[in-house]
Amino acid sequence: MADDEIPSPPAAAARAGLAGALAAAPLQDYLEELHTALTSISDGALADYIPELTRADPGWFGIALATVDGHVYQAGESRRAFTVQSISKAIAYGVALEDRGLDAVLSKVGVEPSGEAFNSISLEPTTGRPLNPMINAGAIATTALVRDDQAPALERLLAAFARYTGRDMDIDEAVFRSERETGHRNRAIAHLLRGYGVLERSPEDATDIYFQQCSIRVTARDLALMGACLANGGVNPVTGVVALKRRYVDKVLSVMSTCGMYDYSGGWIFNIGMPAKSGVGGGIMAVLPGQFGLGVFSPPLDAKGNSVRGIATCERISRDFGLHMFNVARATSATVLRRSYDCRQIRSRRERSAAEQAVLAARGGCVRVYELQGELVFGSAESVELSMLTDLGEADCLVVDCKRVVSVGDAAARLLQRLAERVAAAGKHLYFTETMHLYGFRRLLQKANAAGSADWLRFDDTDRAVEHCEQRLVDAAGVAPVVVDGEDLHNHYLCRGLAEDQLGAVRAAGRERRYPAGVPVISVGETAQSFFFILAGEADVWVGTGGGTAGRRVRLTTLGPGTVFGEIGILDQERRSANVTASTALTCLEVPFAGLDPAIREQMLANMARHFAGMLRENAELVRHLS
């Protein structure tokens, strides 16, 4: 690490458990690709009215993005220190609001855009009140409002910055001296403010504090965390410390939106659509409320005093992910990850042999299911993505259940697409299920997979996707399919304990039935008079939900040779409560229960009781996992 690079805050270092997932995240890839693409921009010039700023290397370029979940992504020289300059105006405005209250601050500084350069003398003609706190006149007046009755104003400002960044802050003394020696225009503005009665401090004292405030050393990472605090209702998402009282956050973001980018503020909010503040040191701090803070550092400036690469970076991120704040999203759930589990806990509804169950008990952690809910936007998708990446070391198959997802925003869709590509590149598998209602998301995935090399949308039904993933584990373990002689009724649980002559009586009472694939065997509402031994083929047991043509089919289980269905309804000859359909060519032995000898019926009822008791134990374990 170079001498002028600042290490991560201790609180962030404590989150090292996420380091692998963050490094592998598609968002990290995106920022690195973006950094590489924009490094070649050579437009702009260093600020020269502060001589010390001309020492900057025009090639320095860092990007950092911090989410409201406390995840920080960085590319380039994101930890290189530079002076915060005018970005400090937003932080100082928040401190003044906390110290003096809204009415007192508004009596000294307005909130109207000036449409003029940052160092213009934009004062109300009659009152002398600066138009807003983001121009130098307003910033000097704002800084003068910071109280120093308990601690010097500079210490108060440094402490405020420390709450935002999570680390101790300091001043670049060389830049401070340079600003102090050349800041004649700012002193003139301060004297003018004092003449109007706006400034309560002496002009020399006010400008010295202002010059020191602008000379605070920060990094792009610091700017991202500062923005994340404002995005997170004033709370630092890494340390949990309140950086700014919530009731003032919207006030700070409002003036950043309308005045934060000097006389480019209108074009900025029109094109990029995020509250932001820039500084002539080359930094830009942008905020997407509720989602993230963005920090960019690149010293060359345009004619308006904004970082050229910084603007290009924010434009690309906003455009690529559709992040304009007026792309209004509906309110999201408290968490989009409803629950997650693996196949050691909850399996598909396919009946498995003992050998297959043993494989899934040992290796089921390789199949992980994520049930999402609500609306997926940039921040929520990023959080879910990290959960999946954290699991990817152990998991080989990821199933993302979207049936409770209301919609997927453009930014979230692109993040999830990049995640799917990353998983595929790692030789693993990801399936998005229950997505038929998410038309835009499906189109994006289909377009991204135009060559058909991946099968992200192969399954609409989550249970079928899980079954497929389970089968991959079973096949990889070399477990051969169990061959059951369906004709041998000894294999059926219902016939346990029956003598040979009794088994013969069961066969004699039954009639063999054959069903082509897709043909119903029994339907909901029919009278239950018989049960069916499967001799060959497979059958799906299912129920419909929703009713009418809008209903959907939910599989309860899949049965094969050596199993039986239809026995539940015969206990009291009630009507059928589930449908059974042949999923392959199916051969069954249909046996009317009433036609059997009482002794056989009694043994079968005892077998049913033991069987259903076992099922209840399994279901109790399932409920334990679900809760």
SS3 48: coil
For residue 59, the surrounding DSSP H or E stretch is none
21-53: pLDDT as tens digits: 666 688 999 999 999 999 999 999 998 888 899
Task: Summarize the confidence of residues 389-412 as an average pLDDT.
Answer: 91
pLDDT at 623 over 90: no
pLDDT of residue 10: 47
pLDDT band of 544, cuts 50, 70, 90: confident
pLDDT of residue 224: 98
pLDDT of residue 575: 81
pLDDT of residue 562: 80
Q: What DSSP line would sit under 137-187, residue for residue?
A: HHHHHHHHTS--SSS-HHHHHHHHHHHHHSS---B-HHHHHHHHHH-HHHH
What is the residue extent of each domain of the chain?
A: 10-321, 337-476, 489-626
- 10-321 and 337-476 have identical folds: no
| Separation of alpha carbons 252 and 260, rounded Å | 10
Beta-strand relationship, 367-376 and 337-342: antiparallel
pLDDT of residue 492: 81
| Residues carrying an active site annotation | 86, 89, 210, 262, 280
Beta-strand relationship, 367-376 and 397-408: parallel
- 250-256-258 Cα angle (round to 5): 105
Non-local CB neighbours of 353 within 8 Å, separated by 6+ positions: 479, 482
For residue 592, the surrounding DSSP H or E stretch is strand 586-592
Task: Summarize the confidence of residues 523-530 as an average pLDDT.
Answer: 87
pLDDT band of 14, cuts 50, 70, 90: very low
Nearest partner of 318 among 533, 65, 105, judged by Cα = 65
What percentage of residues in the chain have a pLDDT greater than 70? 89
Q: How many residues does the chain have?
A: 627
pLDDT of residue 622: 55
- Asked if 604 and 611 count as a contact pair (C-beta separation under 8 A), the reply is no
Nearest partner of 399 among 472, 465, 467, 476, judged by Cα = 465
- Asked if 271 and 261 count as a contact pair (C-beta separation under 8 A), the reply is no
Task: Summarize the confidence of residues 163-189 as an average pLDDT.
Answer: 94
Q: What are the φ and ψ backbone dihedral angles of 140, each rounded to 5 degrees?
A: -65, -45
pLDDT band of 173, cuts 50, 70, 90: very high
- Asked if 320 and 345 count as a contact pair (C-beta separation under 8 A), the reply is no
What is the side-by-side order of every strand in the sheet holding 337-342? 337-342, 367-376, 397-408, 429-433
Structure tokens at 374: 């609500």
pLDDT band of 12, cuts 50, 70, 90: very low
DSSP category for residue 9: P
| Separation of alpha carbons 298 and 57, rounded Å | 9
| Separation of alpha carbons 395 and 370, rounded Å | 12
SS3 386: helix
Give the start-end residues of each E strand in 322-414. Answer: 337-342, 367-376, 397-408
CA dihedral 26, 31, 33, 39 (to 10 degrees): 180
pLDDT of residue 9: 52
pLDDT at 340 over 50: yes
| Separation of alpha carbons 285 and 262, rounded Å | 13
Task: Summarize the confidence of residues 453-467 as an average pLDDT.
Answer: 89
| Separation of alpha carbons 379 and 282, rounded Å | 26
- 351-564-607 Cα angle (round to 5): 100
What percentage of residues in the chain have a pLDDT greater than 90? 56
- Domain boundaries 489-626, CATH class: mainly beta
| Separation of alpha carbons 342 and 459, rounded Å | 18
Q: Specify the residue for token string 């003609």.
A: 125
pLDDT of residue 561: 83
Q: How does the average pLDDT of the chain come out, rounded?
A: 87
DSSP-assigned beta bridge partners for residue 64: 74, 295
79-124: pLDDT as tens digits: 999 999 999 999 999 999 999 999 999 999 999 886 665 556 667 7
217-252: pLDDT as tens digits: 999 999 999 999 999 999 999 999 999 999 999 999
pLDDT band of 624, cuts 50, 70, 90: low
Structure tokens at 343: 């196949």
552-568: pLDDT as tens digits: 788 888 888 888 898 87
DSSP-assigned beta bridge partners for residue 520: 581
- Asked if 190 and 203 count as a contact pair (C-beta separation under 8 A), the reply is yes
pLDDT of residue 218: 97
Structure tokens at 399: 């199933």
| Separation of alpha carbons 199 and 190, rounded Å | 7
pLDDT of residue 610: 86
301-337: pLDDT as tens digits: 999 889 999 999 999 999 988 888 887 554 444 578 8
SS3 319: helix
pLDDT of residue 20: 64
| Separation of alpha carbons 87 and 275, rounded Å | 12
pLDDT of residue 483: 62
The single-letter code of the amino acid at 559 is L
pLDDT band of 17, cuts 50, 70, 90: very low
Non-local CB neighbours of 441 within 8 Å, separated by 6+ positions: 402, 408, 413, 416, 432, 435
Chosen CATH of 10-321 out of 3.30.460.80, 3.40.710.10, 3.30.70.270, 3.40.50.2020: 3.40.710.10
The single-letter code of the amino acid at 520 is P
- Asked if 83 and 172 count as a contact pair (C-beta separation under 8 A), the reply is yes
Structure tokens at 499: 């003598």
| Separation of alpha carbons 4 and 217, rounded Å | 10
Please measure the distance between the N-terminal and C-terminal CA atoms of the chain and give it in whole angstroms: 47
- Asked if 505 and 597 count as a contact pair (C-beta separation under 8 A), the reply is yes
pLDDT of residue 387: 87
Nearest partner of 459 among 415, 401, 417, 396, judged by Cα = 401
Task: Summarize the confidence of residues 263-277 as an average pLDDT.
Answer: 91
293-303: pLDDT as tens digits: 999 999 999 99
Task: Return the number of other C-beta atoms located less than 10 Å from residue 620's C-beta.
Answer: 9
pLDDT of residue 332: 47
464-485: pLDDT as tens digits: 999 999 999 999 999 876 666 6
pLDDT at 357 over 70: yes
DSSP-assigned beta bridge partners for residue 596: none
Task: Summarize the confidence of residues 478-495 as an average pLDDT.
Answer: 74
| Separation of alpha carbons 553 and 315, rounded Å | 45
Which contacts qualify for 244-250: CB closer than 8 Å, 24 or more apart? 244/94, 244/98, 244/160, 244/163, 244/164, 245/98, 248/94, 248/97, 248/98, 248/102, 249/94
Nearest partner of 537 among 556, 565, 511, judged by Cα = 565
Structure tokens at 154: 């500079």
- Asked if 185 and 116 count as a contact pair (C-beta separation under 8 A), the reply is no
CATH architecture of the domain covering 337-476: 2-Layer Sandwich (3.30)
